[in-house]
Amino acid sequence: MNTGIVYDPIYLEHRIGVHVESHERLIGIMDFLEEKKVLENPDFKLISPRAATIEQIRYVHQESLINEVKEVSEVARITGHIQNLDMDTAVCAKTYETSLYSVGGNLNGIDSILNGGVTNAFAIVRPPGHHSNSYKCAGFCIFNNIAIAAEYLFREKNFKRVAIIDWDCHAGNGTSDIFYDGSEYGELVFFDSHQDGRTLYPGTGFINDVGKGAGEGKIINFPMPPRAADDANILFFNEIIAPVCEEFKPEFILISAGFDTHWTDRLTNMGWTYQGPANYLKKIKELAAKYTKDRILITLEGGYEIDKQAKAVYNCLQVLNNNNHLIEEKSRESENDVMNYISNKVIPNLKNSLKPYWNCF
């Protein structure tokens, strides 16, 4: 089994000063992969990105957003100063170009899975995307990489059913907005686990937000109370994701992977270990084996403890490549009060709100 790793130094050129979403995040990952000799292993294949076309960016974004990113990058170039799109989303002279490559890296990852000799791929890209909706960049994100990847599968590769699983600690509000009414070109289910929006940015992603119109029942939020650990998402997988996918039968699985669920992450309050995402991915991989011919593309979203993120990404790459030998720290389980709340409140309420749309509930 071959696993693609999409990476290019162009992703370091989105440099936005002293900021948690720093280019150092990718340097940390790539240095660790080098130390572990991952790229020397013939089971892994380095994939270079391309720039996505403007038409592809338009699959999910309005012209005004695209122009704004382009123009503000140009202002940054002329003035030599970093510019801001909102309180926490910054732009430098290279942001527009880098963002086109961030999207295009994911598209090349998909192409390599479909006909480039890899079974699955991890796009180690930035800027991230899942907070940007059709008209507004937000939360360190520029173009919504994962949403464009889904539309690319629908519009250019003839896929009919795609699942996106977002395990970043923050709700993927941009992705949710984009697919809230469904897509004109295919069926999409969005599984979004995150720290409860009452306790964390962006303050969205509640159980009753299930989508509308063609998207109704297909936006599936799993808001977790602070301190929830690795076991919480396994429960979400077993109780919700697995039965829904059995009914939905996705043809491709896309993952918005954030590593800011780690218990030390400076922006969040969760309890995951750095083997947590990989163990969750093992379950997702079983689904992919059943329904998607093993096709999984992972894109990098957040993750702000550079050393922990590097280990977590390494672990996910091992799992993608059928090697379950992980780098592990002391395991963590959710405390009883947290797990009781999830088992007795969150999961039953979620099943209840999804009942009208899925026979499994």
Q: Which residues contact 172 (CB under 8 A, 6 or more apart)?
A: 130, 131, 146, 164, 166, 190, 192, 194, 205, 256, 301
Least distance CB 260 / Zn ion (angstroms): 4
262 binds Zn ion (CB under 5 A): no
Q: If DSSP codes are grouped into helix, strand and coil, which group holds residue 188?
A: strand
Q: CA–CA separation, 26 vs 12, rounded Å? A: 7
DSSP structure string for 210-276: ---GGGTT-EEEEEE-TT-BHHHHHHHIIIIIHHHHHHH--SEEEEEE--TTBTT-TT---BB-SSH
Considering only 108-116, 185-193, 195-203, 250-258, which stretch makes contact with Zn ion by CB under 5 A? 250-258
Considering only 99-107, 162-170, 288-296, 349-357, which stretch makes contact with Zn ion by CB under 5 A? 162-170
Q: CB-wise, 119 or 132, nearer to Zn ion?
A: 132
Is 131 an active-site residue? yes
DSSP structure string for 269-337: --BB-SSHHHHHHHHHHHHHHHHSTT-EEEEE-----HHHHHHHHHHHHHHHTT-------------HH
Binding map of Zn ion across residues 340-359, x = CB under 5 A, - = no contact: --------------------
Least distance CB 140 / Zn ion (angstroms): 8
The one catalytic residue in 61, 130, 131, 194 is 131
- Chain position whose Cβ is nearest to Zn ion: 302
Least distance CB 251 / Zn ion (angstroms): 27
Q: CB-wise, 88 or 246, nearer to Zn ion?
A: 88
Q: CB-wise, 110 or 171, nearer to Zn ion?
A: 171
CA dihedral 248, 252, 258, 261 (to 10 degrees): 40
The single residue among 25, 61, 136, 170 that binds Zn ion, judged by CB under 5 A, is 170
Q: CB-wise, 47 or 171, nearer to Zn ion?
A: 171
- Phi first, then psi, for residue 188 (nearest 5°) are -130, 130
Q: CA–CA separation, 216 vs 133, rounded Å? A: 18
Least distance CB 183 / Zn ion (angstroms): 24
Q: CA–CA separation, 302 vs 317, rounded Å? A: 17
The single residue among 151, 177, 230, 260 that binds Zn ion, judged by CB under 5 A, is 260
28 binds Zn ion (CB under 5 A): no
Considering only 22-30, 256-264, 312-320, 353-361, which stretch makes contact with Zn ion by CB under 5 A? 256-264
Q: If DSSP codes are grouped into helix, strand and coil, which group holds residue 146?
A: helix
Q: CA–CA separation, 297 vs 314, rounded Å? A: 15
Binding map of Zn ion across residues 282-311, x = CB under 5 A, - = no contact: --------------------x---------
Least distance CB 17 / Zn ion (angstroms): 19
Phi-psi region of 293 (alpha: psi -120 to 50; beta: other; left: phi over 0): left
Least distance CB 5 / Zn ion (angstroms): 21
Question: How many degrees, rounded to 5, is the angle at CA 295 between CA 148 and CA 165?
Answer: 55
Q: CB-wise, 174 or 302, nearer to Zn ion?
A: 302
Q: CB-wise, 104 or 302, nearer to Zn ion?
A: 302
- Candidates 185, 193, 252, 240; CA nearest to 357 is 240
The single residue among 223, 225, 250, 258 that binds Zn ion, judged by CB under 5 A, is 258
- Phi first, then psi, for residue 195 (nearest 5°) are -65, 135
168 binds Zn ion (CB under 5 A): yes
Q: CB-wise, 169 or 207, nearer to Zn ion?
A: 169
Least distance CB 267 / Zn ion (angstroms): 7
Q: Which residues bind Zn ion (CB under 5 A)?
A: 168-170, 258, 260, 302
Q: Which residues are catalytic?
A: 131
